[in-house]
Chain A
């Protein structure tokens, strides 16, 4: 049966439940495996990264499979997907896959095919000059940035996703194509603190953030929102019920208790909070997922605010570069950003990355106490001398 071209296709809106198929689930993975993957499923013995972006896996059957990984924009058109298909048809017998970080992988079973494929991929560019399929993203380098919808499709963002990711990846492109870092660096991005994706557990994370309390649209609130849900949505208990002068039910927000998370807006369209000057970007660092050497870690806030300087976010790019360069020159082999920061101490992280420490970085949410330093073990940095000076403990 072919795809239909009538306006409503084969669907009959008069009898919506007729011929309805449901609960099919996804297609079975086996039908999409290239033959070499089917034949060696569960039989792999080891692998090697031949060069940035190129992997080879060895099977106990003697087979080898070469993988070429290239950057994907995640957000793509059907034309681009069709181009991926053309490449897969030409070199990979019509098979390909995507990674968990939205890179594109082409698999071939011989080094001849590999060379031709590599050459072809790197020759493809958009009219504006960007690579369509840059090869890289393996080993101790930088790989794709896991990101979210931003202004393309979401209603709660405090910044844009695709444009920021493009700007940052442009700046860090050499790391994508190289394997020069102490360990892999995972950068991720979320446009609000719902943190869809991986922001809370990445080496470096970019997070859209608001800095102004919601505006209460009291005229419509009672008719479009369930007020108890709105009140329950606030992590700091800043929202309470109120009545307008005209007697309508609404809510009031204790502004000094609001930390601009936007969760009440998620629940209630009458509480918008996005703002041109208020909104911007928070940077977190030091998270990881794997259990390698150290347990998984959350990322920690290291920069409380950078402006949304569309479309290239120079401040964000600069700060990410500062962190990566300090890490690259100082960390030991196999140390992730968080492992490095914890070994040298966060005070040294701020010194070496040249990032100012502000009060916003000191946790003041419920479980804050565990993040304070209950020890005399610390290292002296200029920030420490400033405190000593301010307290009158030392002379200038």
Chain B
């Protein structure tokens, strides 16, 4: 690569949002001697109208390179390449004329993003756009002014299909789910069996997989084996269902998520550096998620208070949880443990106990011991 290391630039009032970049061959390529990136906070789920997009283009063509990424992996609109002198003018026009802010970079809350949610999906159990918008606005200070040990990301998935990959790509993963029964339309089930509706909404149309076989394609693939056919009707033992979405994905017209919906909260996903890659860990099985999401904000702030205090320099939340252990994290969140937090219980017996949980405590006298056990 011919980009110099690092580059610290920005706009007054903010500690992030701009990634500075300088060419290491500025004499040969003077037009990219500075080539800074500006992150522009995208509207939730990336719907646009052309007026807005054209205004962005006009601004960027005049004051930048005219090159963009639609979009950065975290979600931002990326303005790719401008000179330092133009950063403030661009920011001024963005805020005053487009009523549009920068996104995040650095050791702070990064730009949250979400799946398409209720805008165009029948499975979304939460209003992903609204949550994303509300939490982005509520935590503007944390987003623009780095105050954390390291970066922190929110992502909002409407269901366990994970279309915005929150479980792998956010420190705090919000995944929509339900706690009542899958809604079954038995007539539509018959239509699937009869071959009137293609399975999986037609996702496999490009190849002949034979006639749809509900036993083979749905019932036998259910990870908990909690489905069966009875008198031509599909039955689900919902208490045993883990809401993996497979049956719903295969028969979207016949099966729908329940109506008592909320969010599962998982924590700690990150890429490999430093201690290895992590996916988020299930911590809170179900929470109602209704505006203004006060119950969720309380959780966010408990997590941040702990991590901001205890997190080492450049230590992601997932690594802090590893260092202290889940039990400490539960104390922080003021929640009890549950079997759902683990794939399996520990196999080693290196178990910590708190002194107060052991009768008699830890202060013991060797002479007392010797009175019963000779040396």
- B and A form one assembly: yes
Query: Which of A67, A181, A201, A261 contacts B273 (CB under 8 A)?
Result: A261
Q: Is the CB of B2 within 8 A of A151?
A: yes
| Smallest Cβ-Cβ distance to A150: which chain B residue | B1
Query: Which of B47, B66, B279, B314 contacts A77 (CB under 8 A)?
Result: B66
**Complex Cα–Cα for A111 and B143 (A):** 43
Query: Which of B63, B80, B120 contacts A153 (CB under 8 A)?
Result: B80
A46-B252, A154-B1, A196-B271 known; A334 vs B246 contact (CB < 8 Å): yes
Q: Is the CB of A292 within 8 A of B161?
A: yes
Near A by CB (< 8 A), chain B positions 291-320 give 313-314
**A: interface residue count bin:** 35 or more
A32-B47, A95-B47, A97-B45 known; A24 vs B95 contact (CB < 8 Å): yes
**Complex Cα–Cα for A153 and B279 (A):** 28
What is the 8 Å Cβ interface bit string for chain B, positions 109-128, against chain A (1 contact, 0 not)?
Answer: 00101011011111010010
Residue numbers in A under 8 Å from B202 (CB-CB): 48-50, 139, 179
**Complex Cα–Cα for A85 and B140 (A):** 30
**Complex Cα–Cα for A308 and B307 (A):** 40
Residue numbers in A under 8 Å from B276 (CB-CB): 365-367
Q: Is the CB of A47 within 8 A of B201?
A: yes
Q: Is the CB of B89 within 8 A of A9?
A: yes
Near A by CB (< 8 A), chain B positions 50-81 give 50-63, 66-71, 73, 80-81
Q: Is the CB of A195 within 8 A of B68?
A: no
Q: Is the CB of B168 within 8 A of A153?
A: no
Residue numbers in B under 8 Å from A283 (CB-CB): none
B366 proximal to A (CB < 8 A): no
Residue numbers in A under 8 Å from B118 (CB-CB): 41-42, 44
B223 proximal to A (CB < 8 A): yes
B49 proximal to A (CB < 8 A): yes
**Complex Cα–Cα for A37 and B54 (A):** 22
Residue numbers in A under 8 Å from B70 (CB-CB): 72, 74, 76, 81, 98, 102, 104
Q: Is the CB of B67 within 8 A of A155?
A: no
A8-B88, A152-B80 known; A37 vs B120 contact (CB < 8 Å): yes
Residue numbers in A under 8 Å from B237 (CB-CB): none
Stretch at the interface among A11-19, A244-252, A313-321, A382-390: A11-19
A353 proximal to B (CB < 8 A): no
A368 to chain B, nearest CB (A): 10
Query: Which of A4, A184, A200, A289 contacts B203 (CB under 8 A)?
Result: A184
B96 proximal to A (CB < 8 A): yes
A232 proximal to B (CB < 8 A): yes
Interface of A (DSSP majority class): loop
What is the 8 Å Cβ interface bit string for chain A, positions 273-292, against chain B (1 contact, 0 not)?
Answer: 01000000000000001111
**Complex Cα–Cα for A298 and B271 (A):** 11
B343 to chain A, nearest CB (A): 8
Residue numbers in B under 8 Å from A48 (CB-CB): 197-198, 201-202, 252
Q: Is the CB of B41 within 8 A of A26?
A: yes
| Smallest Cβ-Cβ distance to B89: which chain A residue | A9
Q: Is the CB of B206 within 8 A of A47?
A: no
**Complex Cα–Cα for A266 and B5 (A):** 8
Q: Is the CB of A201 within 8 A of B133?
A: no
A146 proximal to B (CB < 8 A): yes
Stretch at the interface among B6-14, B333-341, B356-364: B6-14
**Complex Cα–Cα for A151 and B113 (A):** 26
Q: Is the CB of B136 within 8 A of A81?
A: no
B351 proximal to A (CB < 8 A): no
Stretch at the interface among B97-105, B226-234, B323-331: B97-105
**Complex Cα–Cα for A2 and B122 (A):** 40
**Complex Cα–Cα for A37 and B42 (A):** 18
A227 to chain B, nearest CB (A): 13
**Complex Cα–Cα for A205 and B161 (A):** 19
Q: Is the CB of A179 within 8 A of B66?
A: no
Near B by CB (< 8 A), chain A positions 190-239 give 193-201, 229, 232-233, 235
B235 proximal to A (CB < 8 A): no
Q: Is the CB of A29 within 8 A of B43?
A: yes
Query: Which of A23, A31, A46, A153 contacts B35 (CB under 8 A)?
Result: A153
A32 to chain B, nearest CB (A): 4
| Smallest Cβ-Cβ distance to A52: which chain B residue | B206
A131 to chain B, nearest CB (A): 17
**Complex Cα–Cα for A34 and B116 (A):** 13
Query: Which of B43, B85, B197, B279 contacts A298 (CB under 8 A)?
Result: B279
Residue numbers in B under 8 Å from A22 (CB-CB): 13-14, 95, 101, 140, 144
Residue numbers in B under 8 Å from A75 (CB-CB): 67-69, 80
**Complex Cα–Cα for A12 and B314 (A):** 36
Q: Is the CB of B46 within 8 A of A99?
A: yes
Query: Which of A46, A193, A289 contacts B122 (CB under 8 A)?
Result: A46
| Smallest Cβ-Cβ distance to B66: which chain A residue | A78
**Complex Cα–Cα for A153 and B275 (A):** 26
| Smallest Cβ-Cβ distance to B58: which chain A residue | A3
A133 to chain B, nearest CB (A): 13
**Complex Cα–Cα for A139 and B252 (A):** 14
17 contacts between A and B (CB under 8 A): A1-B97, A8-B88, A10-B92, A11-B92, A21-B95, A26-B101, A29-B44, A42-B127, A48-B202, A49-B202, A82-B54, A100-B165, A146-B73, A153-B21, A201-B279, A289-B165, A293-B221
Footprint of B on A, CB under 8 Å?
A: 1-5, 7-11, 13, 16-17, 19-29, 31-34, 37, 41-42, 44-52, 55, 57, 65, 67, 72, 74-79, 81-82, 84-85, 88-89, 94-100, 102, 104, 107, 138-141, 146, 148, 150-157, 178-181, 184, 193-201, 229, 232-233, 235, 261, 263, 265-266, 269, 272, 274, 289-294, 296, 298, 333-334, 365-367
Query: 9 closest Cβ contacts across the A-B interface?
Result: A139-B203, A269-B5, A179-B206, A291-B160, A23-B140, A195-B271, A21-B95, A85-B50, A9-B89
